[in-house]
Structure 1
């Protein structure tokens, strides 16, 4: 029986349909299996703010005081002040300016002693004049030869007023020339609250503010010559024998400088520096107390101020390596945690607040350990590090891509 026309028509329909199906599959399968897939959803919850405990400085009830972190070169981060902010008489603290100005004009190479200075009859006359006005002094002998460093040591440690004049006359030729140089030097360093009218500070017209004195202390301890001198408790000088530092707090609570000062107008004063332990690092602090009524009161005020400042340093743990900060979830059900790729902590002083922002990149799959973003920690307050700290974010496990079945059954995803 020969095929009918209807039979041929059905055969053509079947064959055509198969061709269409094969064509569709030939197109759909590779497209579905190779087409881009939607990105995973990254969720990183907001982190609670981290704060440190505020600390109140113990400041003296009289006079003025201030304390700061020294960064060297006159740069400081003030931690607190008390009393008048206006310039006050500074007594022999003025010799710190004298030493800095002389060393600026006549620098001593690190490890050296500088040029020799021969003591003359003029220096003996300066000694007699100093004694006559009741200034602090140390002996001189015409013909005595001292190095520049030794003259500065006697001036700073023994607080000898006559040696401040001997030093500046040698360096500048006269007191007037020194005062002109000192005025220019103070202006160049932005020390607008400081003025000197003599070399020693005996004149109450030599004045400064606690703000300027913190910067001066920072410059002294940063200077390779002066920093060593002011931290010396005693030394031996030819023809004078042992000289002792008038700062008897050297070595107490890390104190390693800077300069005492006492006059009727200024009271008992100390410009001080101290290297203190803060966790596994050390911090250089500088401070000043002006106008104490006695040496015992001065020492108690300095130590209380210093110890209260030291107690304010706190180390805040921000994040530890492996801490889970968020997660990825894909439309096909795969998940992976987002973790910190490192640890961060920050040492702050007193009240400080830390906020976190985190960003995760767009991805659909990734191997364990893949870096996927960054967490930024912003510190508001006084910090020993930077105000912004970062840590990479990584995948803690494999984030799997979709399998073939999901691709084939989700053509519109």
Structure 2
């Protein structure tokens, strides 16, 4: 992982984020010797959406967030802690690039791509430079390494980087969109359809707050080697230093990702992850009215989440939960315990009860580690989580005479 040195330039950007439209990614005075400067246009004042009250298990309910859709998810369990319109299909803008970067990261993990592979910039991928397009400013017909391209996608939100890697991996944007949709289906993103790797407007290009949280969780979980890139504040390529648009990276040390997005149709969007102590929360804000608003509402949601929820351990990892009866074995029972540590994120002060469900008619032989049931956690009579019960020892099958005797007794 390359390290980046802190400079005042991205900090200035973060302060200015509330008054400037971050539609062009350049932070340099000039684009290149052969390119003219790209200036940002003043933000057009857009009325804020009506505050949207969400659903939550917390007494008193969730905060009202002025956005078309929003969601708060617990990273460890994937449980949605609060949300409003979580399944409405909306334009995701550059949040799309989370799937683009995720496919690159998974290809790197599998060996289909190498970090130093060279990616060619075609006429289609080349960014001509406008005040409405995010660019890494890759020169036409030039080549860049996969890692530079990945940083250009994540940090600079480069449309040119996204198109170039799409063509490199799948031959075309259309071919890459098929890979994106196949991966979305595998992850369980049921309200998503990708048409391109950039998030540029298309009537058929949609996703939902829940789906984008699922994708963010997959990136954090499955792309651990590359996830630190999402927290990098700036990246310099082709002599141009550009800063990450996620203003929370400059103001909240617990935030380490993930992605901003903005088009006129999608409004201002933000997917964020924050880890405080042993809890990581993921937030999604879709279609609010300014860069400042998406940051402010994310702060509100994170603050509310961390203050209203806590981690609970219903059963200690090494505890014997119960003894399961075993038929036709040399032992009549086998100890059942957890296969791995089990924690839940629950409203603060909420009391938990657990119940056990064992597989009926469990017969020997039983191998240590075999799933023999599950334990369910409930609060106020409602299930809030479950985990598997595992046999803690081997149980050999009894001899013929003992089995006959057990059969008769049974």
- Give me the TM-score of the superposition, normalised by structure 2: 0.60
1:96 is the counterpart of 2:92: no
Q: What are the within-5 Å matches in structure 2 for residues 312-391 of structure 1?
A: 312-314=308-310, 348-350=345-347, 352-355=350-353, 379-380=378-379
Shift of 1:272: 1.0
2:197 to 196, 199, 202: 199
SS of structure 1 residue aligned to 2:281: strand
CA distance in 2, matches of 1:76, 1:165: 31
CA distance in 2, matches of 1:216, 1:229: 16
CA distance in 2, matches of 1:101, 1:318: 36
Shift of 1:296: 1.4
| Distance of aligned partners of 1:314 and 1:196 in 2 relative to their CA distance in 1, 3 Å threshold | closer
| Distance of aligned partners of 1:189 and 1:356 in 2 relative to their CA distance in 1, 3 Å threshold | closer
**Residue-by-residue CA offset, 1:272-319 (whole Å, 9 max, x unaligned):** 111122xxxx22211100011111111111000011000112467999
SS of structure 2 residue aligned to 1:87: coil
**Residue-by-residue CA offset, 1:190-223 (whole Å, 9 max, x unaligned):** 2121111111001243211111111001011221
CA distance in 2, matches of 1:86, 1:346: 30
Q: Which has the higher helix share?
A: 1
1:294 to 287, 290, 296: 290
1:66 is the counterpart of 2:71: yes
| Distance of aligned partners of 1:274 and 1:204 in 2 relative to their CA distance in 1, 3 Å threshold | farther
Shift of 1:224: 2.1
CA distance in 1, matches of 2:311, 2:189: 33
| Distance of aligned partners of 1:227 and 1:108 in 2 relative to their CA distance in 1, 3 Å threshold | farther
| Distance of aligned partners of 1:69 and 1:101 in 2 relative to their CA distance in 1, 3 Å threshold | same
CA distance in 2, matches of 1:346, 1:175: 41
2:137 is matched with which residue? 139
Which structure would you say has the larger Rg?
1
**Residue-by-residue CA offset, 1:3-58 (whole Å, 9 max, x unaligned):** xxxxxxxxxxxxxxxxxxxxxxxxxxxxxxxxxxxxxxxxxxxxxxxxx9746332
1:188 is matched with which residue? 186
- In the alignment, is the contact (CA less than 8 A) between 1:349 and 1:382 conserved in 2? no
CA distance in 2, matches of 1:104, 1:308: 33
| Distance of aligned partners of 1:187 and 1:81 in 2 relative to their CA distance in 1, 3 Å threshold | same
CA distance in 1, matches of 2:230, 2:74: 18
Higher relative CO (Cα under 8 Å, sequence separation at least 6) belongs to: 1
1:209 is matched with which residue? 208
Q: Which has the higher strand share?
A: 1
1:57 to 42, 55, 62: 62
Mark the runs of 5 or more structure 2 residues left unpaired by the alignment. Answer: 1-56, 316-341, 356-374, 390-410
1:276 is the counterpart of 2:271: no
| Distance of aligned partners of 1:105 and 1:348 in 2 relative to their CA distance in 1, 3 Å threshold | closer
| Distance of aligned partners of 1:355 and 1:136 in 2 relative to their CA distance in 1, 3 Å threshold | closer
Shift of 1:93: 0.2
**Residue-by-residue CA offset, 1:110-152 (whole Å, 9 max, x unaligned):** xx961322544x25x53345x4693211211256543212101
- In the alignment, is the contact (CA less than 8 A) between 2:117 and 2:146 conserved in 1? yes
CA RMSD in angstroms comes to 3.6
CA distance in 2, matches of 1:193, 1:202: 18
Shift of 1:261: 0.3
CA distance in 1, matches of 2:92, 2:269: 7
| Distance of aligned partners of 1:56 and 1:113 in 2 relative to their CA distance in 1, 3 Å threshold | farther
How many equivalent residue pairs? Answer: 284
| Distance of aligned partners of 1:288 and 1:346 in 2 relative to their CA distance in 1, 3 Å threshold | closer
CA distance in 1, matches of 2:171, 2:64: 42
Q: What are the within-5 Å matches in structure 2 for residues 240-251 of structure 1?
A: 240-250=239-249
CA distance in 1, matches of 2:272, 2:265: 20
CA distance in 2, matches of 1:314, 1:164: 38
1:149 to 147, 166, 169: 147
CA distance in 1, matches of 2:59, 2:386: 18
**Residue-by-residue CA offset, 1:377-408 (whole Å, 9 max, x unaligned):** 954279799699xxxxxxxxxxxxxxxxxxxx
- Give me the TM-score of the superposition, normalised by structure 1: 0.60
